[in-house]
Amino acid sequence: DAKTTQPPSMDCAEGRAANLPCNHSTISGNEYVYWYRQIHSQGPQYIIHGLKNNETNEMASLIITEDRKSSTLILPHATLRDTAVYYCIVRGHNTDKLIFGTGTRLQVFP
Amino acid sequence: DTAVSQTPKYLVTQMGNDKSIKCEQNLGHDTMYWYKQDSKKFLKIMFSYNNKELIINETVPNRFSPKSPDKAHLNLHINSLELGDSAVYFCASSQRGTVGGEQYFGPGTRLTVT
């Protein structure tokens, strides 16, 4: 079973920041938080991951709370092409297995 | 220059048939996976291979048999297809030992069993 909970859906206006929350209250000390997304009819796409520090790359920023029980993925300027299902996944560093939950369906509107 | 490719993209077949889906990655990764996404959109791992060795084998019927002829290929053979096998199958690859170990997914193969 997935160790994360996410809202089933969110809306965001184009050009605004999309903030996608994730709860992972049972995360262990050696487990990372990963975010993937799946655009309709495509394979999942890696976005970002982190352990305890905030992370940023060209796609997004990841903010992890100090107690690591929750995190937020931030798409700073959402575009229509960011419409997708976003999955928050907790994964140990010594396992290859990704356990996908139900994710958050983000709809970006004009 | 597709990183992870799968063939075919669509596969329609009848119950009881045997079919194969092929996957190839040109990323030089040493680990490959098969995932299944059912009609409710749940995405579940089925198998993973590292350097041609089976690492993960989830509770999958033994009608499903992965074959890894080399590190760059992982094929999925399905015997005696059933209606419940209809799904989208995704192949993925990653490199073990890297800090992120992010997985790169193929475009998927939509299997329809009639």
What is the model's pLDDT at position B41? 85
For tokens 């098969």, what's the residue? Answer: B34
Query: Chain-wide mean pLDDT for chain A?
Result: 93
Residue in A85, A96, A102 nearest the CB of B55 = A96
pLDDT digits (tens, 9 = 90+) for A35-83: 999 999 899 999 999 999 899 999 999 999 999 999 999 999 999 999 9
Among B35, B102, B104, B109, the strongest candidate for a mutation testing the A interface, having the largest count of A CBs within 10 A, is B102
For tokens 């975010």, what's the residue? Answer: A35
Chain A residue whose CA is closest to B106 = A43
Q: How many CA atoms lie within 13 A of A95 on its CB side?
A: 14
For B49-61, b where at least 16 C-beta lie within 10 A, e where not — what string? bbeeeebbeeeee
| Single-letter code of the amino acid located at B18 | D
Residues B24 and B72: beta-carbon distance below 8 Å? yes
What is the model's pLDDT at position A1? 66
Strand order in the sheet with A55-56: A18-23, A70-75, A61-64, A55-56
Name every residue whose Cβ is closer than 8 Å to that of residue B27 and which is 6 or more positions away in sequence: B3, B4, B93, B95, B104
CB contact under 8 A, A34 and B31: no
CB contact under 8 A, B41 and A85: yes
Answer whether B68 touches A (CB < 8 Å): no
Per-run averaged pLDDT (10 residues), chain B, 114 residues: 90 97 95 92 90 83 92 95 96 81 93 97
Greater confidence, B1 or A95?
A95
- Look at residue A93 and tell me whether its pLDDT is greater than 80: no
